[in-house]
A and B are shown apart, each in its own frame.
Chain A
Amino acid sequence: MRTLRRLAGAVERLNQGLGGVLRWLALLMVLMGAYNALARYLTRYAGVSLSSNALNEAQWYLFSLIFLLGAAYGLKVDAHVRVDVVYGRLSERARGWIDLLGTVLFLIPFTVVMLWVSYPTVRNSWGVREVSPDPGGLPRYPIKAVILVSFALLLLQGIAQAVRALDRIAGRGAGEGGAAAERSAGTAAGPGVGGHL
């Protein structure tokens, strides 16, 4: 258990760090989106091509990096939306059970299946060094490989969540930076959901 807890801590630090980097990619994506919008407009009038398929694709590559690499970070900070009509009223221990069972029965099998079914696709893409079908587009194989990285990180964070959930069931608290602590800080208003729009 002690080794597991240490592993959980390491995974959490990794994903937390990743989250800190990804948010700046969001800013970069906004700036790039605005540049692309202006470039398309100006190109029409200036006659000089300021825009390119590479730049347009870079925009959604950034979008993909944010959610693929951020999925595990989202799990750690409890950003993935929950329906907490029931969950919000349960004891810490009962919540621990739901998180443990959900992680073991839903999350971990899903990440394993996704890794399993994605691997052949990514390997093929990598094998032929797949590039964008559009002229001047970006190589496709690296961004497809990120799908594997995403679910691998999610699998690791899932294991960490299970360890933390076990601790909560045993009444040892969420530990440093546990999801439960962040949740109670995050949604003070009402039983709504973290990211309710």
Chain B
Amino acid sequence: MNGAVWGPLMFLGALAFIFTGYPVAFALAGTALLFALLGSLAGHFDLILLTALPERTFGTMSNYTLLAVPFFIYMGTVLEKSRLAEELLETIGLLFGRFRGGLALGVILVGALLAAATGVVGASVTAMGLISLPVMLRNGYRSEVALGTISAAGTLGQIIPPSIVLIVLGDQLGVSVGDLFRAALIPGLALTGAYAAYILGLAAVRPGWVPALSKEMRDAARGELLKRVAFSMMPPLILIVVVLGSIFAGVATPTEAGALGAVGAMALAAANRTLGMDVLREAAEDTTRLTIMVVFLLIGSTAFALVFRGLDGDIWIADLLTGLPGGWLGFLLAVNLLVFVLGFFIDFFEIAFIIVPLLVLPARQLGLDPVWLGIVLAVNLQTSFLTPPFGFSLFYLRGVTPDHVPTTSIYRGAVPFIAIQVLVLAAVVWMARPA
């Protein structure tokens, strides 16, 4: 029963060190070394296990799935820095804004699409908060509705392919990223549809909360609108459809589609005459930094996992999770609760690298399909990012919201969307049940 003592100690130790705020990658690696040393002094750990680290590092270097991450980040940052994403957002706003609730629908649609383009919560929430929020508020939108729509739409990127969350989850769960993308399309579209239905419902019941664009704004835009739809809206849309379509059709691997999508984004930016050296440099710099961050987090987590397993911590976790009352349902509820709470404080990368590998074994023992386990986790994290008071999406939105809008409005606005999330999450848990 060695793992039952060392497992919890090491797990809590890692959490404590992570919360000091020292870079997570090295806090994890340091925890691993500390417990390797303590374990070996107590005679429970063989230090020779640490010599597996170079081979693990090499495995990360030659990991073909992970290569998709920098490619999609590059594609997203080029679309963002070349202002293509911004123009897409403005054009869809003008196109939909002529109807009641249209501005909010546009935000949801762009959230889903930008999502597809970037998968970066911070980027899409910030962009929509800066561009769409002022337009919605000026037009007399109820601020809660405008704020809730933006923070919720900004999280759609977590679940709608080619979300980077899904790529990393696929790698950690040992399932094909293509399968995960296909499965994620169902809850992704369900969420988008439910958000849209909520806005349409408001437009019917509370028309004053979601007014259409004023006549002046509509008239001012009329002449240009067709041109903008053709040149600003369609090209990024087609790029996204082609990238996703090639993955779903099995023509390209996610890695290949990501690389082609990144080059496609550069081509669109060039056609738009906004592909300067500065855009190339910033996109490359962002991609470099994120790649370094993600991979070193994985290396630190690998060191943690190696020692944790050496101390039988994985057996402790598996026993704990498979012994819960309610079998698979108890397991999923416990995991959901843990991930939901952790999602307030730590990034999904940490959760994916530290927690998810520990779930694979118990999930298999309970007969759960790892693909659907991944989908449950993705929807759960997305919900967590939207939940006050700690949700990341709400923080990013606060950062770009005028000071006179109280933070409580942001929180209140999120509530209806959280209700939708909970319903979809429950449906996904049900879909994940063992065959």
By a beta-carbon cutoff of 8 Å, the part of chain A in contact with chain B is 19, 22-27, 29-34, 36-38, 40-41, 59-60, 63-64, 66-68, 70-71, 73-75, 77-88, 90, 95, 98-99, 101-102, 105-107, 109-110, 113-114, 117-118, 120-122, 143-144, 147, 188-197
Contacts and interface: CB of A to CB of B under 8 A. Distances in A.
A192 B288 contact: no
B292 A80 contact: yes
A83 B61 contact: no
A-B CB proximity, top 7 nearest: A87-B21, A106-B30, A189-B399, A33-B259, A190-B395, A102-B22, A37-B256
B295 interface: yes
A25 B17 CA distance: 33
Given A106-B30, A113-B33, 9 more contacts: A33-B255, A34-B262, A67-B291, A81-B349, A84-B21, A90-B21, A106-B26, A107-B29, A196-B121
A70 B30 contact: no
Interface in B48-67: 50-51, 53-55, 57-58, 61-64, 66-67
B120 interface: yes
B120 A197 contact: yes
Contact of A29 (B70, B260, B290, B297): B70
B61 A68 contact: yes
A86 B292 contact: no
A105 B164 CA distance: 32
B37 to A, nearest CB: 9
Given A30-B259, A191-B395, A196-B122, A107 B30 contact: yes
A70 B292 contact: yes
Nearest to A65: B61
B258 A70 contact: no
Interface residues of B, number: 78
B392 A63 contact: no
A60 B62 contact: yes
The winner among B63, B291, B292, B392 for most chain A CB atoms within 10 A is B292
B151 to A, nearest CB: 12
Nearest to B29: A110
A109 B19 CA distance: 20
A71 B296 CA distance: 7
Contacts of A73: 292
Interface in B393-417: 395-396, 398-400
A87 B32 CA distance: 22
Nearest to A105: B30
A179 B3 CA distance: 39
B24 A190 contact: no
A192 B291 contact: no
B207 interface: no
B225 interface: no
Contacts, number: 227
A143 B399 CA distance: 42
Contact of A117 (B29, B54, B297): B54
B293 A79 contact: yes
A125 B431 CA distance: 48
A67 B292 contact: yes
Interface string B21-45: 1111111011111000000000000
B64 to A, nearest CB: 7
B26 A66 contact: no
Contacts of A88: 21
A165 B287 CA distance: 27
A59 B64 CA distance: 9
B122 A192 contact: yes
Contacts of A79: 289-290, 292-293
A118 B290 CA distance: 25
B281 A192 contact: no
Interface in B287-335: 287-297, 300, 303
A196 B392 contact: yes
Contacts of B252: 37, 41
A80 B122 contact: no
B181 interface: no
